[in-house]
């Protein structure tokens, strides 16, 4: 507590909110600008699959079909109206960068405009992390160019931890729908915590 008391007595700098932005933001993927989607799939070790691990390969463009149901899966498998589900270049390069930072133990922010696919990227990172963890268990290394990496926090494989996603209550249903749209039925367990803490034990 003495440490905090000492800090409170120190003079705090005056904040100037009129000074404008002090940070020169970069896109963060400058080293990948010359890479094609084929190159990016190869970097991830997914050049044969050309799809994100544990991801659906098709989706309902009207979003009326519930993919996490037997009927929904049948619809996606057989209906001509189903369209291919694949990340765009900017989404794929973002996933590559986040995986790179995650393995190195370095912080990263995913910031982009509304409606350009950040949710798919975030779910893609979770799916890739699970795939990388399983791949390392089998092969003793990560896939793609990440085969030369070790997880910075363990010196070996990624820890097999659950992922916690925090979102506003009013976006919960939308996020659940997006997760079910992207991930294959039955590949992940979703345990939503909503409502009051007293209700969580019921």
pLDDT 10s digits, 55-99: 999 999 998 999 999 999 999 999 999 999 999 999 999 999 999
43 three-state secondary structure: helix
Q: Are strands 58-59 and 83-84 parallel, antiparallel or unpaired?
A: antiparallel
pTM for the full predicted model: 0.83
Token digits of residue 87: 């990340």
Give every CB contact of residue 28 below 8 A, 6+ residues apart in sequence. Answer: 97, 108
Considering its fold, how many domains does the chain have in total?
1
Specify if 67 maps to a domain.
Answer: yes
In a domain, 9, yes or no: no
Instruction: Determine, yes or no, domain membership for 10.
Output: no
pLDDT for the residue numbered 113: 75
- Quick check: is 177 in a domain? yes
Residue 78, class by beta-carbon neighbours within 10 Å (0-12 exposed, 13-18 middle, 19+ buried)? exposed
Residue 199 lies in a domain: no
* Distance in angstroms (rounded) separating the CA atoms of residues 169 and 126: 21
Q: What is the pLDDT of residues 19-49, one digit of tens each?
A: 665 666 677 889 899 999 999 999 999 999 9
Q: pLDDT at residue 116 above 90? A: no
> What's the rounded mean pLDDT across residues 157-178?
93
Does residue 202 lie in a domain region?
no
Establish if 4 belongs to a structural domain.
no
Structural domain harbouring 139: 26-189
Check whether 9 has a pLDDT greater than 60.
no
User: What kind and span of H or E run contains 83?
Assistant: strand 83-84
What is the distance between the alpha carbons of residues 147 and 45, in angstroms, rounded to a whole number? Answer: 9
114 in any annotated domain: yes
Provide the 3-class DSSP secondary structure of residue 176: helix
């Amino acid at each position: 507590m003495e440490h905090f008391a000492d800090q409170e007595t120190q003079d705090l700098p005056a904040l100037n909110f009129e000074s404008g932005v002090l940070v020169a933001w970069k896109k963060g993927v400058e080293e990948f600008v010359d890479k094609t989607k084929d190159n990016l799939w190869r970097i991830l070790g997914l050049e044969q699959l050309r799809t994100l691990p544990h991801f659906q390969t098709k989706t309902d463009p009207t979003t009326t079909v519930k993919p996490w149901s037997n009927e929904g899966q049948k619809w996606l498998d057989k209906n001509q109206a189903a369209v291919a589900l694949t990340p765009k270049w900017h989404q794929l390069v973002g996933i590559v960068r986040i995986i790179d930072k995650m393995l190195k133990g370095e912080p990263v922010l995913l910031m982009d405009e509304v409606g350009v696919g950040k949710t798919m990227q975030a779910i893609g990172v979770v799916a890739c992390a699970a795939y990388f963890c399983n791949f390392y268990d089998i092969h003793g290394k990560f896939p793609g160019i990440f085969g030369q990496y070790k997880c910075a926090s363990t010196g070996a494989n990624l820890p097999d931890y659950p992922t916690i996603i925090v979102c506003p209550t009013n976006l919960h249903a939308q996020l659940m729908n997006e997760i079910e749209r992207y991930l294959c039925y039955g590949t992940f367990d979703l345990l939503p915590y909503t409502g009051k803490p007293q209700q969580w034990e019921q």
